[in-house]
A = this chain, B = another copy of it.
Amino acid sequence: MMRSSDQQAFRGATPVEQGNPADDLRMFRRCLSQYGTGVAIVTTSDGTSRFAVTVNSFSSLSLDPPLLLWSIDRKSRSFDAFSSCEHFAVNILSSEQIELSRHFSSKVTDKFANVDWIPGRFGSPLLSGCIARFECSAEARHDGGDHLILIGRVQQLERYDGMPLIFSQGQYSIPLEHPDAPGEPAAMAAEKPNTLANNVLQLIFNAHHALSEAFEEHRRAEGVSIAVARVLATVYGHPGIKVDGIAAQTYLGQRDVEDAVVELARKSLLVHAQDGGMRLTPSGVALREAIGERWIAFQNARLESIPSSDISVLMRTLTRLIDPAAQERAATAAVSGG
């Protein structure tokens, strides 16, 4: 039983990084971001002003009594409001709300000015388009180092249709469901005579997974993280761009962009102008171009043995699957053409 002594057999024996988190806060953050989370906007009101923070520290806590928790950075500009409020609302973001997440984590002064919301029964703003909303009374607060833990007792909730927004490994993403259990298409067992759509969806799922993994492995071989590679590419393509612009273009979190910028600057691959805009140094440009060339070679190797006519049909058919109206137009054209 004791495989524990057999360290040779222990898989995954080489960590990408390891150590004491107190020695390297960015490493700690990268490790924490291995745990995927949703994204929530927590709001409150003191009767005159409204406050909001974007968090990924939300967690369910207790069913009976109905409790949830989240934590707020003591340096947040809304800290005083949340550390003393009697009520708050938790708005769970959908996959369509990346912009809203960015908006509420930005430094905009009146965050509610151009946002669709209504006051909840205790005055906390409820945001439109969310997939769940919890109106809470503040039940307890606990010290949490540089954060404060807030426990809410849920008084009222709502659930809406939609897919959740996911934040994972520094990037916004959406959850990709397993289309079916391996081996046995259990959910569709009755449709055995016609499983074409299941098979197509399964193949698309597998193709996306396989290509993402291959590309990811390629990026890893470059010795740079996804965040660093994306920031490098974006500054290369848009000299003078600022952190906000990079976050918006790459689906990376703001803090992950900031960390990547610090790393690139430390390696003298990137420099800041006085206005906050960034440019690559000559060695940054050279690294970016080397990565770019290897990327093209990798793509070619991956695709070269597939006839270009097959690639055309693949892309045309995927486009028609995405937009059934395009299907109808094509069908009509085919009929009138024949």
Contacts and interface: CB of A to CB of B under 8 A. Distances in A.
A212 interface: yes
A37 B37 CA distance: 4
Contact of A31 (B64, B113, B157, B322): B157
B321 A63 contact: no
A92 to B, nearest CB: 5
A273 interface: no
Contacts of A282: none
B331 A305 contact: yes
A105 to B, nearest CB: 15
A164 B36 contact: yes
Closest 7 interchain pairs by CB? A62-B145, A189-B237, A176-B176, A35-B38, A21-B66, A34-B132, A197-B299
B238 A186 contact: yes
B173 A177 contact: yes
A191 interface: yes
Given A61-B144, A181-B250, A12 B314 contact: no
Of the four ranges (under 10, 10 to 19, 20 to 34, 35 or more), the interface on chain A belongs to 35 or more
Contact of A229 (B18, B187, B203, B234): B187
A161 interface: yes
Given A21-B66, A161-B220, 18 more contacts: A11-B129, A20-B156, A31-B157, A36-B38, A36-B175, A140-B142, A166-B175, A174-B209, A189-B234, A190-B289, A191-B296, A193-B296, A197-B303, A201-B212, A201-B215, A210-B322, A305-B331, A313-B317
Interface string A39-69: 0100000000000000011111111111111
Interface string A173-200: 1111110110010111111011011011
A310 B316 contact: yes
Contacts of A112: 1
Nearest to A309: B313
A327 interface: yes
B181 A249 contact: yes
A62 B71 CA distance: 9
Contact of A164 (B34, B160, B249, B322): B34
Contact of A313 (B189, B237, B302, B314): B314
Contacts of A220: 161
A80 interface: no
Nearest to A145: B62
A259 to B, nearest CB: 12
Contacts of A194: 296, 299-300
A116 interface: yes
Contacts of A25: 63-64, 66
A204 B208 contact: yes
